[in-house]
Each structure stands twice: as structure tokens, then as C-alpha cells.
């Protein structure tokens, strides 16, 4: 997971060097990112289910091997075509390993307190990977060459393979006959791939263009066809029973909204720091560092005890309220901001993500039966990618449109940019309010021990802690 998240953020810093060295056109350069995103996002659900059928350990090892080999190919690429192909293969490998990662985790750690700790570490690696990626990308590109942003994956990948071979127990899986739905696989993969492609090209074609609307309609039709197929197939690829769980469906809906909303924090704050306040790349990284630090610290040290004490739902609600405070403060950030008074409180409130993500992860996996663990893991990762893509498409477009409107009205450039970001932050806050409403109503507290998996029974004599009133 560290390698997958790190790879997603490390590439963005090296893009100018890659363009200069390999001769990418501006449009072609975007495919260094898009090729990875399309393969990764569209194959997660399929890979998760295949992990349940053929064995999650096999899928994890195969995905890690493909990702590591593709990283080597990307590092030695001498033409745009080879690098784009390598990035697509990296996305395939990432989908295969990431899709079953949570499924492996929840089947290895069955005791609620241990599972909460394991998920907290899992969430911490995400924050660490995103932070390390931006720092390492700049250091490696400046000190060595852009190729090393891919070569760094080789020792991590090889070490992961060696450890996983011995540490992960073998699982036979359900067998392909339990879900060998070829038509369903084609429909869901085609639908997700078409939808993600349409979203990543919105900036080029526009949200209301025939290109975007046409591909969006096709994606919806393919995914609707997939759901119809799953309802009728004798051995469905994705048994629809998994969506009947309030924990699974509710947690995935909340996550999609939360990730889409927080794009405005992750990306637009960095743009605000550089384009409005005039920060350099290094200064921007340092300015954002407190957010990464508190997210990592909270997810690693605080989230598991709180989940064990108060339950996933209450911890999630607390995290969402803190994140709502983040975007609420950002809607009022001034053109001439002071970092200590205007921005540092925002960075510290980002600790809410360190509470919300582990709680969401526990909820999304707790409602799935063990035989569907890989599918639930793939679904959780898929909604995360869809939320990210939607956040990028919608919020960046709204910010740009608002900025153009203010510029046309004669506002100074810095003021126009800030006004555009304010709108994006406000819409993001609205998305978080919807997420908070869903979490409050759909994710009801279950009786028994907080943090326990639905269907499990607390040991005899175990105390049931009082729950916190949200």
C-alpha cells in the first residue's frame, strides 16, 4: 500500500523532467497519470472478486510482481509510448494487489481490537505514502534523474514479495466456477474504464461537451447492465447481497463523498499557497506537512483505541465534523493570509481524516462475509478512486469557472483565484454535509461490543463500553 500510494504522488513532481527528456507533448504528458488511473480504477472491483475465487494471496503476489516489473520498465523507458504502457501495467498490478489487501487484513485479524490496530496501520501508510511521494519525487529528480522515481519501487516490491511468500497464509479461494461471469466482468470493467476516462478528460473537453456526456451515458449504461446481469446470473461476479449490508453500502457512499470533498483540500490548498501567496514548491510541501503529520499520528495512535471504546460510527462522525471545520475555515481564507492564524488551524483539523478513514475501512469490511472479503476490499478501493476522479473533475472545473468570471469582472488575479477556490471549498463542505447525513442515518449503531464485526458475539463476561453520544 505504501508503494502504491507513493507512486501516485511521486510522479506528479517529476512531470516536467519527464516531458523534457522523452519529448512528450502537453496532451500526451497527461497520459503518464491517466494511463495509471484508468487501469487502476477500472480493475479494482474485478481483481477483488478474482482474489476471492482464485485465492487472495495469489492475487496479491501476482499484482505486486506485475507492479514491480512495470516499475523497472518505466524506469528504463526511452519513448513516450513505452512509459505510458508501463504506467498502464503499473495500474494493473496496483489494482490486483490493492484490491485484496484489505480482504487479507480482515481475515488475518479477527479479534476486533487487533483488527482496528491493523487497519489503523494500513491507513497510516496511505498518509505516509502521499507525504513521502511529494518529497522523494523532488529529491530524486533533482539529485539523480526522473527514472529513479520508478526504480525506488524495485527494492520495496522485492521485499514485499519475499515477506508475503512466508507471512501470508495460503488460501484456495472459492474456485472460478463460483463466479465465472465473463459478461459481467466485461460490463463492469468497460463501464468503469469508460467512466474514469470521461472524467479525466473533462478538463480538455469540458463537462457539458458531447464527448463527456456521451461517454458518461455509455458508462452508466454499462454499469446498469452489469447490475442487471448480477441479479440474474447463476454465478454472479459481484453477488448483490454485499450491497444489502448497510455497513458496506453506507461506508462506500460516505467514502466517495468524503474523498471527492477533500480533493479541494489536498490539491487546491497547494495551488492557493503557490499562486496566491507565492510559496515555492519546497515551502508548499513544508506548509502542508503538519496536516500529513497529524493525519498519520491520529490514524496510527488514536483511532484504534477510540474505535474500540466508542465504535466505528461515532469515531467516523467525529472525524467528519473536524473535516467540515477544515473546509469551513477555507471558505473564508483571505488573499493575504497569515500561515499561523489562517492556515495552521486548517492543517491541524485535518486530523479528522485520521479518524474517519480507519473507521470507514472497518465499517466497509465488517458487513461482508469472509468469502466476499476480496470483493468488499475491491469495492472500497473502487469508490475511493471514483470519489477522487469526481473531486478532480467537479471542484477544479467550478474553481476555474468562478475565477474566469471574477477576472472578467475586473477583479485582480489573486482575488479571482481565491474566489474560485472559495467556491470549490464551499461545494466540498456541502459534500461532507451529505456524507455526515448518510453516516448519521444509514450507519446505525449495532448492539454489542463497539468495533466488533456484525454477526460476532462478545466473549462471555466481556464488558460492553458505553457509547459516545454524537
Distance CA 43, CA 185 (A): 9
Contacts of 100 (CB under 8 A, 6+ apart): 47, 48, 51, 56, 59, 60, 63, 374, 377, 378
pLDDT of residue 450: 39
pLDDT band (50, 70, 90) for residue 248: confident
- Of 1-15, 156-170, 310-324, 375-389, the range with the lowest mean pLDDT is 1-15
Check pLDDT > 50 for residue 469: no
Could you count the other beta carbons within 10 Å of the beta carbon of residue 284? 18
- State the average pLDDT over residues 381-405: 81
Q: Cα dist. 459→9, 111, 322, 409, 456 in Å?
A: 43, 11, 34, 67, 9
Identify the top-confidence range among 66-70, 141-145, 175-179, 448-452: 66-70
pLDDT digits (tens, 9 = 90+) for 331-387: 999 998 888 999 999 889 988 988 888 888 888 877 666 666 667 777 887 788 778
The larger pLDDT score, comparing residue 127 to residue 117, is at: 117
pLDDT of residue 466: 31
Q: Cα dist. 149→68, 183, 186 in Å?
A: 12, 38, 33
Element of type H or E holding 4: helix 2-22
**CATH (residue range 1-169):** 1.20.1250.20
- Of 116-120, 192-196, 365-369, the range with the lowest mean pLDDT is 365-369
Distance CA 420, CA 433 (A): 20
pLDDT of residue 134: 57
- Of 104-113, 261-270, 313-322, 458-467, the range with the lowest mean pLDDT is 458-467
Check pLDDT > 50 for residue 465: no
Check pLDDT > 70 for residue 76: yes
Percent of the chain scoring above 90 in pLDDT: 18
Q: What angle do CA 281, 395, 208 make, to 5 degrees?
A: 130
User: Whole-prediction pTM value?
Assistant: 0.73
Distance CA 9, CA 13 (A): 8
Check if 1-169 and 242-447 are the same fold.
yes
**CATH (residue range 242-447):** 1.20.1250.20
pLDDT band (50, 70, 90) for residue 392: confident
pLDDT band (50, 70, 90) for residue 51: confident
pLDDT of residue 324: 93
* Contact predicate 364/255, CB 8 Å: yes
- Residue-range domain boundaries for the chain: 1-169, 180-236, 242-447
pLDDT of residue 396: 78
pLDDT of residue 67: 94
Amino acid at each position: 500500500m505504501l508503494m502504491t500510494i507513493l507512486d501516485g504522488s511521486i510522479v506528479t513532481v517529476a512531470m516536467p523532467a519527464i516531458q523534457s527528456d522523452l519529448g512528450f507533448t502537453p496532451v500526451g504528458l497527461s497520459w503518464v497519470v491517466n494511463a495509471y488511473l484508468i487501469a487502476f480504477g477500472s480493475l479494482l472491483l474485478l481483481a477483488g472478486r478474482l482474489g476471492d475465487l482464485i485465492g487472495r494471496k495469489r492475487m496479491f503476489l501476482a499484482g505486486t510482481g506485475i507492479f514491480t516489473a512495470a516499475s523497472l520498465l518505466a524506469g528504463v523507458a526511452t519513448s513516450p509510448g513505452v512509459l505510458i504502457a508501463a504506467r498502464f501495467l503499473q495500474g494493473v498490478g496496483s489494482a490486483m494487489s490493492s484490491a485484496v489487501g484489505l480482504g487479507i487484513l480482515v481475515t488475518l485479524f479477527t479479534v476486533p481490537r487487533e483488527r482496528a490496530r491493523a487497519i489503523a496501520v494500513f491507513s497510516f501508510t496511505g498518509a505516509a505514502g502521499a507525504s513521502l511521494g511529494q518529497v522523494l519525487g523532488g529529491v530524486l529528480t533533482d539529485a539523480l534523474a526522473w527514472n529513479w522515481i520508478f526504480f525506488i519501487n524495485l527494492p520495496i516490491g522485492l521485499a514485499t514479495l519475499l515477506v508475503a511468500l512466508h507471512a501470508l497464509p495460503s488460501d484456495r479461494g472459492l474456485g472460478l466456477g463460483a463466479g465465472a461471469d465473463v459478461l459481467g466482468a466485461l460490463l463492469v470493467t468497460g463501464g468503469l474504464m469508460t467512466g474514469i476516462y470521461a472524467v479525466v478528460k473533462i478538463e480538455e473537453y469540458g463537462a457539458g461537451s458531447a464527448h463527456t456526456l456521451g461517454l458518461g451515458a455509455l458508462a452508466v449504461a454499462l454499469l446498469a447492465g452489469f447490475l442487471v446481469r448480477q441479479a440474474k446470473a447463476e454465478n454472479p461476479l459481484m453477488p448483490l447481497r454485499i450491497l444489502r449490508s448497510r455497513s458496506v453500502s453506507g461506508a462506500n457512499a460516505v467514502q466517495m463523498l468524503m474523498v471527492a470533498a477533500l480533493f479541494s483540500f489536498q490539491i487546491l490548498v497547494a495551488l492557493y499557497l503557490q499562486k496566491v501567496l507565492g510559496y515555492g514548491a519546497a515551502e508548499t510541501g513544508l506548509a502542508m506537512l503538519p496536516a500529513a503529520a497529524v493525519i498519520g499520528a491520529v490514524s496510527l495512535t488514536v483511532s484504534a483505541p477510540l474505535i474500540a471504546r466508542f465504535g466505528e460510527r461515532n469515531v467516523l462522525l467525529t472525524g467528519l465534523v473536524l473535516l467540515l471545520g477544515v473546509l469551513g475555515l477555507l471558505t473564508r481564507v483571505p488573499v493575504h493570509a497569515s500561515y499561523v492564524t489562517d492556515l495552521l488551524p486548517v492543517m491541524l483539523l485535518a486530523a479528522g481524516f485520521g479518524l474517519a478513514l480507519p473507521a470507514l475501512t472497518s465499517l466497509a469490511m465488517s458487513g461482508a462475509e469472509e468469502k466476499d472479503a476480496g470483493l468488499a476490499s475491491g469495492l472500497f478501493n473502487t469508490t475511493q478512486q471514483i470519489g477522487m476522479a469526481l473531486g478532480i473533475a467537479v471542484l477544479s472545473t467550478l474553481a476555474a469557472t468562478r475565477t474566469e468570471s471574477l477576472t472578467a469582472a475586473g477583479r485582480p488575479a489573486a482575488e479571482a483565484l481565491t474566489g474560485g477556490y472559495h467556491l470549490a471549498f464551499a461545494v466540498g463542505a456541502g459534500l461532507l454535509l451529505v456524507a455526515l447525513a448518510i453516516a448519521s442515518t444509514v450507519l446505525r449503531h449495532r448492539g454489542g461490543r463497539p468495533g466488533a464485526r456484525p454477526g460476532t458475539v462478545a466473549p462471555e463476561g466481556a464488558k460492553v463500553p458505553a457509547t459516545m453520544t454524537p
